[in-house]
Amino acid sequence: MKKTTCYIGIWVFALLFIVSIIMIAGHYVLEDKAEDEFDYLVEIVEEAEEKEVEDVNISDEEAQSPLERYQKLFRMNNDMYGWVSIDGTNIDYPVMYTPDKKDYYLKRNFEKEYSFYGVPYIAEHCDSRESSDNVILYGHHMKNGSMFSDLMKYEDKDFFLTQNTINFDSLTETAVYEIIAVFKTTVYDDSGFKYYLFTDAETKEEFDAYVARCKELSLYETGASAEYGDELITLSTCEYSRTNGRMVIVAKKVLEE
């Protein structure tokens, strides 16, 4: 009887071990698949950028739009709003916008298939096509350093001093944003700063109060602020030092083309 029980235990352990190996292998397969998918999107954009350079001597009438680089992707998926990138990080992704479908790309890839990586997306309550005062972008904090994980680099002020801007293009313009605040907070409780609710200020006082709160919470002084009338973006990802923590970067538009 003891020998039978021992054999059963061995078989159970072996089965659990095999299942664990399969799950781990499956995780890495999905990880590689997600990376390959985003690499393909980046290649499309880079090829279009090279074409723009080649066409530099053609007439104004024939010249490509400076954002023609995104048109192929938009034809592939018209939920695409633009592109976000930060030099010195792995952040270099399309940005999606589905105002009628809350968190649609939280667990979907660019092809709208299930993916635990998702795609960075604009909060559905932002009126992004009408230039909200604050456009909020969400992205996952993945353990392999992809998606918005590299926002955590901004814990270090020295990194901020080398990379204090964010590139955020729409389909109609390119733009550079200067970081004004870097902070951590929590969501789903009364103690956290509800930054995710602010998209449009009805008054100058409301806008100034939001900016002041962001500056107050900032991990360090950035040397930059924002005034009523400035256009803001907020990048948000999970932060794991606390329950329901968030790492948040707020920036203002300083250059557009």
Residues 91-103: tens digit of each pLDDT = 999 999 999 999 9
pLDDT digits (tens, 9 = 90+) for 186-198: 999 888 999 999 9
Report residue 224 as tokens: 């930059």
Query: Does the residue 39 lie in any domain?
Result: no
Residue 107 lies in a domain: yes
* Structure-model confidence comparison of residues 38 and 245, the more confident one: 245
Q: Residue 53 domain-assigned?
A: no
Extract the runs of DSSP E, i.e. beta strands, from the chain.
80-85, 92-97, 121-122, 134-138, 165-170, 175-186, 232-239, 245-256
Q: Considering the domain boundaries, does residue 26 fall inside one?
A: no
| pLDDT classification of 112: cutoffs 50, 70, 90 | very high
Q: Using alpha carbons only, what angle is made at residue 184 by residues 181 and 186, rounded to the nearest 5 degrees? A: 135
Decide if 38 is inside a domain: no
- Decide which of 3 and 25 is more confident: 3
Residues 114-156 pLDDT 10s:
998 999 999 999 875 567 899 999 999 999 999 999 999 999 9
215 confidence band (pLDDT: 50, 70, 90): very high
Q: How confident is the model at residue 25 (pLDDT cuts 50, 70, 90)?
A: very low
Instruction: Write the CB contacts of 78 (distance below 8 Å, at least 6 apart in sequence).
Output: none
Range of the domain at 189: 78-256
Q: Is residue 18 part of a domain?
A: no
- DSSP for 135-175 reads EEEE--B-TTS-BTGGGGGGGSHHHHHH--EEEEEESS--E
Per the structure, the count of domains in the chain is: 1
Indicate whether 120 belongs to any domain. Answer: yes
Residue 237 domain-assigned (yes or no): yes
At a CB cut-off of 8 Å and minimum separation 6, what does 93 contact? 38, 41, 83, 84, 85, 119, 120, 139, 147
**Reported pTM:** 0.81
Residue 43 confidence class, pLDDT cut points 50, 70, 90: confident
Cβ atoms within 10 Å of 235's Cβ, excluding its own: 26
DSSP summary character for residue 130: G
pLDDT over threshold 80, residue 176: yes
pLDDT at 17 over 70: no
Please determine, for residue 18, whether its predicted confidence score (pLDDT) is greater than 60. Answer: no
Residue 217 pLDDT > 70: yes
Query: Residue 184: helix, strand or coil by DSSP?
Result: strand
Higher per-residue pLDDT: 4 or 215: 215
Query: In CATH, what number is assigned to the domain containing residue 183?
Result: 2.40.260.10
For residues 51-64, average pLDDT: 48
